[in-house]
Structure 1
């Protein structure tokens, strides 16, 4: 397996995808009214929450399980099982939220319902992408977010050409439309690549479930942790403060561009037996990774923090001035993520899923309780701080475990 080549391929497609979505983010920040942008942040938070709590765990399990099978030259796929399970969960969520909407109505509940609907198509894209990653087809996996983001950008530009005011309904329609188009196209492509046309049998499903359940629980806690700040801000603070935090968080997410591609390649590599069972190779990787990334990361983060007071107002068209302070705090989290997050992949390769679920649970509860206590009094700055602390619990905990392990 050519790890360097896969890194370059995945990173290239991730960078191009983030370029187009970065333009979309800047356009929305500059053109959407504050209240509309806060609604958009809530809508996206719901969809990402659903996808990250359900799909991410299934995807990690799929990539790990099928990467091992590729090593052993087996040809069973669990993609269909993952997709059916996700579909069942989405249907149940839609029925529950839909019932709440028809009883209570309200704009917030409607955004919640639309967020769940969008999550289905967004989750389909993520499932398709993970399937190609599990087969070492990183080019095909990389095309999925790129095509989706380009269609999204084109639809947004066409809409801006014909109207000066963007409503939340138009923005949601654009997002759902682009996701539907790409979901259909990629599902056809996935079907052509499936090695097995049937679902796994009961014995195979049991093995898959036992290998995956704790990783799914970890991903659930991680997804909750990453969105709880936005939900608490939505409940306690104003639309302007939610929009301001959303602006900083969007730029923070863009700076994590390379992390998904790094983790995707490492999940496949670390799942294979020559390294997953060799502690010394794992420790050597940890020390090498930390040594290589710390210096460059520190320089880049310091540079971004010291210059943010100039480039952020330019990107935001002079709006959301308070986002600069929030963004500077989140930048510390960017550096820590690049240094320590890939190490989590090594913990997964050692099958210590219970540890990751335990760390994820602690991080979520720390983040949730801290947000509830601090956000009403100290505002969005405290939300950014608690996010970084919660992420550090997972990253540092995984690093400490791997350094101390002996076998």
Structure 2
């Protein structure tokens, strides 16, 4: 059976845009590693990790449930009018207010200056708004539009960083300002695109608080699951900053950036699988879900295993060229994280499949167990191995998460949920 029968055709569209975005991210990563000092890069790592966590909690967690809920509703009722976009943004704004109030203790806990934490909160909020707008497109299978938004962010960021280097010698403050401006520009672009769809009659939206309450009631466990999984990176950096050194934080930050490059295809895969698994024909057939998982495992193990092996070997040659001599210690961290990447690819359908079973509470419990493994692993291993210990703890906990969710898919039946 050909791989295109396992992966939807829309995967190629999403991948094309995602590859362009990752290429731009690589340019930004190399530039920042070269421009910033080790101390500034450690602060940048805290900024980026914190903003990503805020994005995950206030943006991606809601967006994940949003795509799941909206896709199923629209496949069952073509007259459905989307009211969740307003409610989702309101939740994101509420999170912004709470985080701004707690910004001082957060900065002290992470060991960074207060302006760095404020920038992280603002950027995380802006990314959350953009992610919610992207979810609006993805739930309608408008993958090209969501790809345009993502690439607009990366292009704007690259241009702003270039200006920061020319005008401000690439200072940490100018780099953080560049990130915030790129997030704002991307939000305006995505909002304009949504407005155009609505004006042309290609999307229908409405204010319906009853639908919002139903969405939150149905999706509460799914949102909590996403929040738990988004806490991984923040836990890693917080514990590494507390029990390790500034150098270790910077080295792990570099390894994590390149690890995200290895995950080049994963966002595309998960985006398409999330929509595919949310359609009525999949949510109503446990047999189809399990059949899909088996096909995926058979088709992906060898190619993704080869990809990860090449990355592990190539890191020894490529890292010194890209990063100079200051981050050689990040190579073994990256190689350990590559094992995590292999697991993520092979078990990519797990989260989408368990969502299609409507077993959100069980999914959240699995995420908590995995997070606990990560926290205990960091606590035990960081004093002994520094950033390498964090890499080991992350990899073990993520593999445990993927394996447990896959077992649930094959052992537990679907749970019926009424919509509307």
Q: TM-score, normalised by structure 2?
A: 0.91
Indicate the larger mover: 8-17 or 149-158: 149-158
Residue 181 (structure 2) aligns with: 177
Q: Is the 8 A contact 2:366 2:404 kept in 1?
A: yes
Name the structure 2 match of 1:318: 325
| Alpha-carbon distance in structure 2 between the residues aligned to 1:232 and 1:277 | 42
Distance (Å, rounded) in 2 between the aligned partners of 1:52 and 1:279: 29
Determine the structure 2 residue equivalent to 1:47. 51
Residue 23 of structure 1 corresponds to 27
- Give the match for residue 241 of structure 1: 248
Picking from 148, 151, 154, the partner of 1:146 is: 151
Q: 2:82 matched to 1:74?
A: no
Map 1:63-212 → 2, pairs under 5 A: 63-72=67-76, 73-77=78-82, 78-97=84-103, 107-162=112-167, 165-194=169-198, 195-202=203-210, 204-212=211-219
- What is the SS of the residue equivalent to 1:4? coil
Looking at structure 2, the residues matched to 178 and 71 of structure 1 have their Cα atoms a distance apart, in angstroms, of 34
What is the CA–CA distance in structure 1 between the aligned matches of 2:166 and 2:119, rounded to whole Å? Answer: 25
Query: Residue by residue, what CA displacement relative to the aligned partner does 1:72-94 show, whole Å, maximum 9, x if unpaired?
Result: 21322111110111111111211
Which deviations, in whole Å up to 9, do the C-alpha atoms of 1:177-209 show, x marking residues without a partner?
A: 11111111211222333444432232x223211
Whole-Å separation in 2 of the counterparts to 1:336 and 1:365: 19
Preserved CA contact (<8 Å) 1:271 1:349: yes
Kept in 1, the 8 Å contact 2:119–2:180? The answer is: no
Distance of 2:191 and 2:132 partners within structure 1: 9
CA distance in 1, matches of 2:213, 2:151: 35
| Shift in CA distance, 381/279, structure 1 to aligned 2, threshold 3 Å | same
Q: Is the 8 A contact 1:54 1:216 kept in 2?
A: no
| Alpha-carbon shift at residue 159 of structure 1 (Å) | 2.9
Q: How far apart are 1:231 and its partner, in Å?
A: 1.3
Over 3 Å counting, the alpha-carbon distance change for 1:99 and 1:38 in structure 2 is closer
CA contact (8 A) 1:290 1:340 kept: yes
Indicate conservation of the 8 Å contact 1:54/1:219, yes or no: no
- Match of 2:8, SS state, is helix
Equivalent of residue 363 in structure 1, options 367, 370, 386: 370
**Paired residue for 1:7?**
11
Task: Please say if residues 134 and 146 of structure 2, whose CA atoms lie closer than 8 Å, have aligned partners that are also in contact.
Answer: yes
Partner residue, 1:264: 271
Which runs of no fewer than 5 residues in structure 2 stay unpaired? 415-420
Task: Report what 2:418 is aligned to.
Answer: none
Q: Measure the CA separation in 2 of the matches of 1:107 and 1:388.
A: 27
Alpha-carbon separation, structure 1, partners of 2:407 and 2:222: 19
Distance in 1 of aligned mates of 2:388 and 2:126: 33
Match of residue 337 from structure 1: 344
**8 Å contact kept, 1:270–1:276:** yes
Residue-by-residue CA offset, 1:95-123 (whole Å, 9 max, x unaligned): 2325887x99x843332222111111111
Q: Which runs of 5+ in 1 are unaligned?
A: none
Deviation at residue 293 of structure 1 after TM alignment: 0.8
Aligned residues of 1:282 and 1:346 also touching (Cα < 8 A):
yes
The answer on whether the counterparts of 2:269 and 2:348 sit within 8 Å (CA) in structure 1 is no
In the alignment, the residues of structure 2 paired with residue 234 and residue 59 of structure 1 have an alpha-carbon distance, to the nearest angstrom, of 30
Contact 1:356/1:394, CA 8 A, preserved across alignment: no
Alpha-carbon separation, structure 2, partners of 1:340 and 1:100: 34
**Residues 1:125 and 1:158: Cα distance change in structure 2 (over 3 Å):** same
Does residue 375 in structure 1 map to residue 382 in structure 2? yes
Separation in 2, partners of 1:181, 1:160: 20
In 2: Cα distance, 1:100 partner to 1:58 partner = 23
RMSD: 2.1
Distance in 2, matches of 1:42 and 1:406, equals: 41
SS of structure 2 residue aligned to 1:187: helix
Question: Aligned equivalents of 1:154 and 1:383: distance in 2?
Answer: 33
Question: Kindly tell me: are residues 257 and 300 of structure 1, through their superposed partners in 2, closer, same or farther at Cα, counting changes over 3 Å?
Answer: closer
Q: Under a length normalisation based on structure 1, what TM-score does the superposition of the two structures give?
A: 0.94
Deviations 1:108-159, CA, capped at 9 Å, x for gaps: 3332222111111111111111110011111110011101101111122233
* Aligned mates of 2:207, 2:395 — CA distance in 1: 41
